[in-house]
Structure 1
Amino acid sequence: MSATAAALTWSNVVLPRSGLGVRGRTVANAAFATGYAAIFGGHPKWVSARGWRWGGAAAGAIAVGYAAAVAIPPIRKRLAAVTGREPEVDVAEWVTIHIPLGTVYSEETIFRGTLDPLLDEAAGPLGRCCGALIFGLWHIHPARAAGDNVAATVAATTAGGLIFSWLRRRTDSATAAALAHLALNAGGALAPRAAGAMSNRHR
């Protein structure tokens, strides 16, 4: 399917070879996602009361999970040891601009807003697994660039994709998945810093 090939080629070939810095990649990703949705008939349906309700609940549960992790001393110690990965920018810019725009908007527009409905129509129930797997494969180059285990990253993001896709189907909107995605990624950037700050106070 051309929509699948376009997404994977962009993430793993075109964007990595662009030579853009983090700000340029954020703009390029958002522009690509917007064009992708226009070309392939995407309908994220961002204005969705049901999507906002489910997304708010999911984001709240994720935030509670991060807060609990920071509050539990053994887990807090592990979190505090995690090195931040915000390339070229400080954490405030990373969390308020690059995660929401370059990651969440871009990926949810492409996957939950466009590709998932196409796969549902083309492959039925099998499309649910295919969309999540393609979302996992989208992260191959980012995993390599970060020095992460590629197979583990693909497996983890595929699992996340299954949850995000379920939220999209449950609400008929990409909004719920986007809010959960935002909470997960922003929490992943902020929790280690909160854990480090708490650990320093307890010394």
Structure 2
Amino acid sequence: MSRVPETVAAIGIPLVWGNSVLPGLGLGVRGRTAANAAFATAYALAFHGVPNWRSAKGFWYGAVSASLVAAGYGVALAIPSVRKRLREFDDRGPGVSTAEWIAVHIPIGTVYSEEMIFRATLDPLLDNKFGSRVGSVCGVLTFGLWHIHPARAAGDSVPVAIAATAAGGVALGWLRRRTGSVTAPALLHSAINVGGALAPRLARLIGAARI
């Protein structure tokens, strides 16, 4: 496969999968998790992804990053006005328990899948093709566009979702480049998503306990 078609395919295939093929399959949450993980694994194999999961540096950077995120959620829950706003957020794990959502679907269906596609595979490919500066921009834009269908399905603003996830992709990509491993961005990604799932529930529990 020549370099230009390979690059176009590496960018385009995840976008078609995430925004068209996967939604079109009509799977439930468990089926989507399994399908997404299988696609991510096949994609990384096809485009020679290098996750380097067993990285001590990656684990250290990821643990520190995840701890900062957890602390941020703790501060948010401690502020009454912010906690009140958190109570208004809808749950994003319909059809499954909270425990299953945070123990299975976030780490496998979201974190593993997206880190294998973007940080383990696409980002290094784009860096090699364009250099780290341009490669980073292309990678984070693709990561943002990957979230078009999820934003529509959730009733969120698509431009806001693209911008927010692209901004998150900057931090995740920086961690991968800094450590040479997807372990660091995977731990940060997990902390953000698990915290986002738990914070509204905890806010409602705190509110109920104080009534």
Residue aligning to 1:141: 149
Task: Measure the CA separation in 2 of the matches of 1:31 and 1:99.
Answer: 15
- CA drift of 1:128 comes to 0.6
Task: Measure the CA separation in 2 of the matches of 1:81 and 1:146.
Answer: 15
Superposition CA RMSD, Å: 0.6
Residue aligning to 1:45: 52
Alignment of structure 1 residues 55-134 onto 2, 5 Å: 55-124=62-131, 125-134=133-142
- CA drift of 1:93 comes to 0.5
Of the three residues 8, 19, 23, the one matched with 2:15 is 8
Task: Measure the CA separation in 2 of the matches of 1:117 and 1:155.
Answer: 22
Q: Which SS does the other structure have where 1:15 is aligned?
A: helix
Residue aligning to 2:25: 18
Task: Measure the CA separation in 2 of the matches of 1:19 and 1:80.
Answer: 30
Task: Measure the CA separation in 2 of the matches of 1:13 and 1:197.
Answer: 37
Query: Taking structure 1 as the reference length, what is the TM-score of the superposition?
Result: 0.99
Alignment-mate amino acid for residue 19 of structure 2? N
Alignment-mate amino acid for residue 166 of structure 1? W
Q: Confirm or deny that 1:153 pairs with 2:161.
A: yes
Alignment-mate amino acid for residue 138 of structure 1? W
Once the two structures are superposed, residues 33-81 of structure 1 have per-residue CA deviations (whole angstroms, 9 ceiling, x without a partner) of 0000000000011110000000000000000000110111111111112
Query: Taking structure 2 as the reference length, what is the TM-score of the superposition?
Result: 0.95
Task: Measure the CA separation in 1 of the matches of 2:38 and 2:90.
Answer: 30
- CA drift of 1:87 comes to 2.1
Task: Measure the CA separation in 1 of the matches of 2:169 and 2:94.
Answer: 24
Alignment-mate amino acid for residue 80 of structure 1? R
Percent identity, aligned pairs only, is 58
Task: Measure the CA separation in 2 of the matches of 1:121 and 1:106.
Answer: 22
Q: Which SS does the other structure have where 1:5 is aligned?
A: helix
Q: Segments of 4+ in structure 1 off by > 4 A?
A: none
How many residues are paired up?
203
Alignment-mate amino acid for residue 147 of structure 1? G
